[in-house]
A and B are shown apart, each in its own frame.
Chain A
């Protein structure tokens, strides 16, 4: 957890500073949530890859495909299509998440510059 100690005895903390600190906190929280989501999306993609590979190897015509809480007998071609669609969705989602992560990291870097410039050693914005 990051520590935010602001204000040496000389430096005043303005409402603007406080808002910057708050914003940094929010971005950091979002960053950690994003890392979790990205990890989950990558796992999901891997599982879909594995499922696709299994499908190629099997010679069954009808596959048990999970829909919700049940398994349904689904013809092989349809399963292939479904897996492709799911992979596309997950990949698009993953791209979106990665982009958001890049944006957040750059916003955090900006805020670090501003806050360190004003508060120097009085503030710590690093993960410990």
Chain B
């Protein structure tokens, strides 16, 4: 997982957090004083939180949708296996109806229904994988930002101590 250059650029609209090699250089280059830098980073953390909420909600939806599709596949498979055995007391038919959403329902043959549900299941699973990767990337950026905040704060504390020490040394 190690990369030679620090810091990812961005991922699907989520800005990457710049890794800071050296705090002093970072502050000089960005022209920010400590407080401005800290508040910029805090704002970034807030933005990340907002995106995280959105992604988590999408993840919950997908995680509910997947077992749903699997149950439908189960029902269709059961209907198919009971065909012609005389065991089903529902009138036998070669077709099933599927809710497509938006108050639309379409009739399909069992084979078509199975194929459609399979495709939907695969798409949902693929989307979930991408989403989980997005969340991992996001959480990494949050961690980097939190660590940078701590380092800048500590650097500032260290600087103040140094100034106090040299100040005390100068006064006889």
CB of B147 within 8 A of CB of A4, answer: yes
Smallest Cβ distance from A60 to chain B, in angstroms?
16
B48 part of interface (Cβ distance < 8 Å): no
Known: A9-B157, A19-B1. A25 touches B151 (CB 8 A): no
CB of B71 within 8 A of CB of A18, answer: no
Smallest Cβ distance from A1 to chain B, in angstroms?
11
CB of B140 within 8 A of CB of A25, answer: yes
CB of B75 within 8 A of CB of A68, answer: yes
A81 part of interface (Cβ distance < 8 Å): no
CB of A9 within 8 A of CB of B158, answer: yes
CB of B157 within 8 A of CB of A4, answer: no
B74 part of interface (Cβ distance < 8 Å): yes
Smallest Cβ distance from A9 to chain B, in angstroms?
3
B104 part of interface (Cβ distance < 8 Å): no
A19 contacts across to B, CB distance below 8 A: 1-3
Q: Residue-by-residue, is B10-48 near A (CB-CB < 8 Å gives 1, otherwise 0)?
A: 000000000101100000000000000000000000000
Q: Residue-by-residue, is B72-83 near A (CB-CB < 8 Å gives 1, otherwise 0)?
A: 101100100000
B154 part of interface (Cβ distance < 8 Å): yes
Contact pick for B150, options A7, A23, A26, A73, CB 8 Å: A7
CB of A22 within 8 A of CB of B71, answer: no
A6 to B147 CA separation, bound complex (whole angstroms): 6
Known: A15-B21, A23-B1, A67-B78. A7 touches B151 (CB 8 A): yes
Contact pick for A25, options B19, B74, B139, B161, CB 8 Å: B139
A103 part of interface (Cβ distance < 8 Å): no
Residue of B nearest to A22 (CB): B140
Residue of B nearest to A25 (CB): B143
A13 contacts across to B, CB distance below 8 A: 147, 151
Residue numbers of A with Cβ under 8 A of B are: 4-9, 12-16, 18-19, 21-23, 25-26, 29, 67-70, 72-73, 75
Residue numbers of B with Cβ under 8 A of A are: 1-3, 6, 19, 21-22, 71-72, 74-75, 78, 87, 89, 136, 139-140, 143-144, 146-147, 150-151, 154-155, 157-158, 161
4 additional contacts, CB 8 Å, given A6-B147, A15-B6, A69-B75?
Answer: A23-B1, A25-B139, A25-B140, A26-B136
